[in-house]
A and B are shown apart, each in its own frame.
Chain A
Amino acid sequence: MQTLTIKNLTAEVDGKQILNGINLEINTGEIHALMGPNGSGKSTLSNVLAGHPDYTVTGGTISLNGEDLLEMSVSKRSLAGLFLAFQQPMEVPGLTIGKYLKRIVELRLAEGERMNVSAFIKDLKSNLDTVGLSHDFINRYLNEGFSGGEKKRMELIQMMMLEPSFAILDEIDSGLDIDALKTVATGVNKLKGGDFGALIITHYQRIMENIKPDFVHILYQGRIVKSGGRDLVDMLEAKGYGWVREEFNIPEEADEYQRTIAS
């Protein structure tokens, strides 16, 4: 079993403190959902985990199997088994998906090990089928001209090909219709198992119908204010984030969150 541990994490971006002391432990074999309204710090947490240079950690620790993650470079974190599915994946014109995936899969081979290219292609095609993308995508340029839904599916393809120990899925469900949501869930469920843990970051409940999380956490103003099981999702469904504010005595400043949830 592997463990990703976040302790008392505080972080800022552009000089503004966003995370105010996050505590979270994820083991492989577990699916965690982190829910929270816009502006609660969800994306900041995913960027800090992946090591984006614009985000500064001001306190606390993150460790991956006891090793200090914050000491690792961006690429080293990835090679250590951490994966971030981007909320807004970047386009790289001219870089074909086949060539790109082959390269990043090769990075994970043991020294002296040679890639089995035909097995790689078979895997890739099967994964494309799983998320509902045609095999033509192998020769397309990475994310260039993709629809929002295609970009999200391509994030999942990368995740499935790299088989990380921990995946952070940053709003993988935003901008997707119900059918697309189902295929995305199928992709995540394909990896679900003893060697894989995930943190699904979202502000919608509906993805939880397809990916059943083991733990649910509510993030509010840079803190995890409540953790529990799946019943928390139902509670949010019924009562909205306003209930969180009232229950935890948080000053009113977030009417827009209510509207987001209601819509």
Chain B
Amino acid sequence: MSISAQLPLEDYEHGYYFPDQSVFKTKKGLDESVVRAISARKNEPEWMLNYRLKAYQTFLKKDFPNWGADIGDIDFDEIYYYAKPVDKQQRSWDDVPDDIKETFDRIGIPEAEKKFLAGVGAQYDSEVVYHSLKEEISKQGVIFCDPETAVREHPEIVKKYFGTIIPHTDNKFAALNSAVWSGGSFVYVPKGVHVDIPLQAYFRINSENFGQFERTLIIAEEGSFVHYIEGCTAPVYTTDSLHSAVVEIIAKEGARVRYSTIQNWSGDIYNLVTKRAFAYKNATVEWVDGNIGSKRTMKYPSVFLKEPGAHGEILSIAYSGFNQEQDTGGKVVHLADDTTSVITSKSISKDGGISTYRGLIKVADGVKNAKSRVTCDALIIDDKSVSNTFPYMEVTSDDAVLEHEASVSKISEDQLFYLMSRGLDEESASTMIVNGFLDPLVKELPMEYAVELNRLIELEMEKSIG
């Protein structure tokens, strides 16, 4: 899905934007009338409007987190909370307006869809403008649509699960999302169905001073499998925008859900996302979380292991360059016997960037035979950059095995000299070292995304050395 070959390699290759041609936009700032306007635009049932209003009250009451990245300069009054780009969602790219189609062409979505995806959702500002699912997949009873459609067509499923994994009371940004959510994905995989090729959602912000609040709900019934991938980019503006998503996953007995993110937001996006999964008996949930872009990210995908035999896995990759802070990691809560988890984090800090691993392993009282392994490796490229590690463990059970390893390394002059003495220039040599550092993790990604991630890292390296 690479497009860089045709584009000049500027600082951030997805930094372009098209004129704002939204068909509807709420006024700047947030109050109850904005929440009502969003709900009215969507013709929502009253239960959803009530949920939004309750969440809005929670948002007003909740404080900012008193830890993590510095997000104090977010000005909630300067943001547009809803922008509807088109009148109608399309099932054919030909029917998508030219500007929007060009954006997704440049990112490479239609091409990727043809090659290796089972379904695609493409969101532009507040709404999903394109959605498709291969016929053979939908015939098996798989539902893949935007949550608005799900509220209309599958209210019984939405009502049963929506907000049950991450209640609006969870944190200030989950409350904000619950009040003004728009777009995102709804995925339902029936019992025993294996969706062998990935579903992908792509999130694009085009408007300035904008807030994108997509909402994703994935339900994997017993013994099913699904791999969901999300990607994100935005234009470069001089003012900040906010992306605050909520992702809820339910993996029933024996199900496996893999959720992969490659976030490459522009350098003016605050990216504050809450992601959580419940894994039931013998179920597996895997988060692969790649954070390359944004100004500040706070994101700790989590798995609650609710029943025996459940397994949670989090692979976190973070790159922090100039003026960036990635405060990322993962959280696993062992609530049942014989549960296992693995958290692997790799971070790179360069040009004054700050990478922080923040993670929690919790084993509930009385839980037997819980096992967890946490590995954090950090690579610091220069003396200006920073790496932090905060691995929290809360264990009250005496039958738990927890391992934790952390390492911090620097690229050494001798390593560079060694590679350069084989003919590589300094930039290629350090990129090879960085890619090597990430290699064990990148192997876990589907091939196309591994290539994409390597390419993004190479671009980041070029822009700072070149």
How many angstroms between the C-alpha atoms of A90 and B412 in the bound complex? 10
In the complex, which residues of chain B have a beta carbon less than 8 angstroms from the beta carbon of A184?
none
| Size of A's binding interface in residues, CB under 8 A | 29
Cβ contact within 8 Å between B436 and A141 = yes
- Contact A93 B421, beta carbon cutoff 8 Å: no
- Considering the chains assembled together, what is the distance between the CA atoms of A53 and B412 in angstroms? 13
On whether the beta carbons of B423 and A92 are closer than 8 Å, the reply is: no
B-facing mask of A83-108, CB < 8 A → 1, else 0? Answer: 01010011011111000100110011
Cβ of B440 < 8 Å from any Cβ of A? yes
- The reply to whether A52 and B438 contact each other, CB–CB distance below 8 Å, is no
- Residues of B contacting A86 with CB < 8 Å? 418, 421
Q: Which residue of A lies closest to B436 (CB)?
A: A94
Q: A93 with B424: in contact, given A52-B417, A86-B418, A103-B432 (CB under 8 Å)?
A: no
Q: Which of A90, A94, A142, A158 contacts B438 (CB 8 A)?
A: A94
Q: B436–A95 contact, CB under 8 A?
A: yes
Query: What separation, in Å, do the CA atoms of A100 and B424 have in the docked complex?
Result: 10
Residue of B nearest to A78 (CB): B423
Q: Are B423 and A107 in contact (CB under 8 A)?
A: yes
A51 to B425, CA, bound (A): 13
A24 part of interface (Cβ distance < 8 Å): no
| Chain A positions within 8 Å of B435 at CB level | 94-95
The range of chain B's interface size is 20 to 34
Interface string of B426-465 (1 = CB under 8 A from A): 1010001101111110000000000000000000000000
Q: Answer yes or no: B86 CB below 8 A from chain A CBs.
A: no
Q: Is A75 an interface residue (CB 8 A)?
A: yes
Tell whether, in the assembled complex, residue A104 and residue B422 are in contact, meaning their CB atoms are under 8 Å apart.
yes
Count the A-B residue pairs with Cβ separation under 8 angstroms: how many?
71
Query: In the complex, what residue of chain B is closest to A82 when comparing beta carbons?
Result: B421
A95–B439 contact, CB under 8 A? yes
- Closest A residue to B418 by CB, please name it: A90
Convert B404-429 into 0s and 1s, putting 1 for each residue whose CB lies closer than 8 angstroms to a CB of A: 00000000111101111111111010
Q: Is the CB of B424 within 8 A of A107?
A: yes
The A119-169 residues at the B interface (CB cut-off 8 A) are 141-142, 158, 162
Q: Which residue on chain B has the smallest CB distance to residue A89?
A: B418
Instruction: Note all chain A residues with C-beta closer than 8 A to B423.
Output: 75, 78-79, 104, 107-108, 162
Determine the distance from Cα of A77 to Cα of B439 in the docked complex, in whole angstroms: 29
Q: Is the CB of A94 within 8 A of B422?
A: no
B428 nearest in chain A by CB position: A103
Q: Identify the interface centre among B415, B436, B438: most chain A CB within 10 Å of its CB.
A: B436
Which of A74, A84, A89, A103 lies at the interface centre, i.e. has the most chain B CB atoms within 10 A of its CB?
Answer: A74
Residue among A73, A74, A94, A107 making CB contact with B440, cutoff 8 Å: A94
By the criterion CB–CB under 8 Å, are B425 and A75 in contact?
yes
Inter-subunit contact B438/A74 (CB<8 Å):
no
Q: From B422, which residue of chain A is reached at the shortest CB distance?
A: A104
* Residue numbers in A under 8 Å from B417 (CB-CB): 50, 52-53, 74
CA distance A73 to B424 in the complex (A): 10
Q: How far does the alpha carbon of A146 sit from the alpha carbon of B439 in the complex, in Å?
A: 19
A79 to B, closest residue via Cβ: B423
Q: Name the distance in Å between B221's Cβ and chain A's nearest Cβ.
A: 38
Q: A150 → chain B, closest Cβ, in Å?
A: 16
Question: Given A94-B438, A94-B440, does the pair A53, B413 have CB atoms closer than 8 Å?
Answer: yes
Chain B residues with CB below 8 A from A96, complex form: 439
Q: Please, which residues of chain A bring their CB within 8 A of the CB of B426? A: 75
B177-210 interface bits toward A, Cβ cutoff 8 Å, 1 = contact, 0 = none: 0000000000000000000000000000000000
Residue of A78, A95, A108 touching B432 (CB-CB under 8 A): A95
Residue of B with least CB distance to A92: B436
11 A–B contacts, CB within 8 A, in A order: A50-B417, A53-B417, A54-B413, A77-B421, A78-B420, A90-B412, A94-B440, A95-B439, A96-B439, A104-B423, A141-B439
**Among all A-B residue pairs, the 10 with the closest Cβ atoms:** A94-B436, A94-B439, A95-B436, A90-B418, A78-B423, A74-B420, A107-B423, A104-B422, A79-B423, A90-B415
Q: A50-B417, A75-B421, A86-B421 are in contact. List 5 more A-B contacts (CB 8 A).
A: A50-B421, A53-B417, A75-B425, A77-B421, A100-B432
